[in-house]
Amino acid sequence: MIHGGDIYTEGVFKGKKLLDYSSNINPLGIPKVFLKNIKEALENMIVYPDIQYRNLIKYIKEYIGCENVDVLLGNGASELIDLSISLFKSILIIVPSYGEYEIDAKRWNCRIEFSYLSSQMEIDYDDIMNKMGKVDSIIIGNPNNPNGGVIDKKKFQPILDFCEKNDKVIILDETFIEFTGKNEFSFMDKIEKYKSIFIIKAMTKFFAMPGIRFGYGITKNSSIVDGIKNRQNPWNINCFAEIAAKYCLSDLDYINESVVLVNREIQFMTEELKKIYFIEKVFPTCANFVLCKVRNVNEQQVYDYCINRGIIIRKAGNFKGLDKNFIRFAIKDRISNEKLLTVLRHFQRNSYPVC
């Protein structure tokens, strides 16, 4: 399984409801303001959306607090990841990371170089710098999936300067950035100055709407804008996404509550997971998921134990650079987190009765 979120194979199609710890969606769920205004989208269904999406782009610019940029729209972040990668002959991919980066690059015959995170899941900035001369572009998650680490902007600055000077493009996948609650982690503050930057975001994760399939890209680089637009179909965004953006992006209560909840639960989960013996390492995270390394058991054993108790987790062994000793958990609300921890503690007791 390349992705999390498959509640179907072991759940829906077997008549079971699973607690999904394999995909990383805001535990607060769909903002209520969207449900309150969904009728507006239903009324709009009878007409084509504005082919230029002028209002939608206005809502996004207001949300990101930046007027003087180009905004591209995608059917999920995935469409923009795919189309931006399609523009290049070669790309540096930081791994382990979201598997689609490599799949997309291969689809477009884009030559791939890899830069591996260290065993502590830290970015090797020197390695990136050394490899940038050999590629046209780089893609990096900020925060990165599966570990939830963010880029150290100071250490990244020489890479940014090099890319800017040498016409290379930096694709920053910031689909999880809001969960950090810290604007300064984002590269949005550099977007107007550096045309080498292309930031991809989405309503998928933070606004808990994977089903609406809405992502957007931000840049000052007209070649990226033209290149992607040339490859897109008209009306690729539906009227529900437009209404979601209209109401949810300005819902400050939801935004603030989400950040508080997720950051409280990151701390709780990290502390509790560290107490479980078969979990050798809990990697520090800034996002709503946590990567763990296990010992004396493998991903499949933990997965099977959890799935038999109604919880689906993410086996992380198929992330490039990881192996079968890695698992990833979403971070959800306290009640769900307690349920997961109870199952993991039982697994520990069964596996290690004396610990």
Ligand X SMILES: Cc1ncc(COP(=O)(O)O)c(C=O)c1O
In whole angstroms, how close is the CB of 15 to ligand X at the nearest point? 26
Pick one of 31, 76, 149, 217: the residue that binds ligand X (CB under 6 A): 76
Question: Would you say 156 or 179 has its CB closer to ligand X?
Answer: 179
**Contact between 221 and ligand X per CB under 6 A:** no
In whole angstroms, how close is the CB of 296 to ligand X at the nearest point? 29
**Contact between 26 and ligand X per CB under 6 A:** no
**Contact between 96 and ligand X per CB under 6 A:** no
Pick one of 136, 173, 178, 299: the residue that binds ligand X (CB under 6 A): 173
Question: Would you say 283 or 347 has its CB closer to ligand X?
Answer: 283
Site size toward ligand X (CB under 6 A) is: 12
**Contact between 141 and ligand X per CB under 6 A:** yes
Pick one of 26, 28, 60, 78: the residue that binds ligand X (CB under 6 A): 78
Fill in the DSSP letter of residue 237: S
Question: Would you say 78 or 219 has its CB closer to ligand X?
Answer: 78
Question: Would you say 77 or 343 has its CB closer to ligand X?
Answer: 77
**Contact between 174 and ligand X per CB under 6 A:** no
**Contact between 27 and ligand X per CB under 6 A:** no
Question: Would you say 28 or 297 has its CB closer to ligand X?
Answer: 28
Residues lying near ligand X in the complex (CB under 6 A) = 76-78, 98, 141, 145, 173, 175, 202, 204, 210, 215
